[in-house]
Amino acid sequence: MSAIPYSNDVLPDSVTVLPLPDVADLLGLSVTRVHQMLREHQLIAVRRDGVIAVPKEFFDSTGEIAKHLTGLITVMRDGKYTDEEILEWIYTEDESLPGRPIDALHGDLAREVIRRAAADPF
């Protein structure tokens, strides 16, 4: 098994992150399945204070992965963006949305976020 992939913590300090065991509990999966999801780029993790964790906002109110998140990650990785660049873009305010792309993923503008990411996010 390969190491658990994680990114540099480029997230604002205000972003709440969930340690991988908490992510596993939330999703009703084993922690090794969460590791696999990270390897398959379905999620992105960071190391914060020595703990590998996933942003809490990657999940919806029912405890599932936000509907369009995995697609957004795929589109951006296909565009050769690093995980750090993806995280920075997702958490950067965009007045035309309005707000941050991560917030728009939880609402009616989710498809617009993916369209913008495919067009050229930066």
Residue 1: the pLDDT is: 47
- Structural domains of the chain, count: 1
In a domain, 48, yes or no: yes
Instruction: Report residue 122's pLDDT band, with 50, 70 and 90 as the boundaries.
Output: low
In a domain, 5, yes or no: no
Task: Inform me whether the pLDDT recorded for 85 exceeds 90.
Answer: yes
Query: Which whole number is the average pLDDT over 2-23?
Result: 94
Position with higher pLDDT, 116 vs 84: 84
CA 16 to mean position of chain CA atoms: 12
- Model pTM score: 0.91
Residue 26, domain extent: 17-119
In a domain, 79, yes or no: yes
* Cis check: omega of the bond before 21, within 30 degrees of 0: no
In a domain, 8, yes or no: no
In a domain, 93, yes or no: yes
Task: Inform me whether the pLDDT recorded for 28 exceeds 80.
Answer: yes
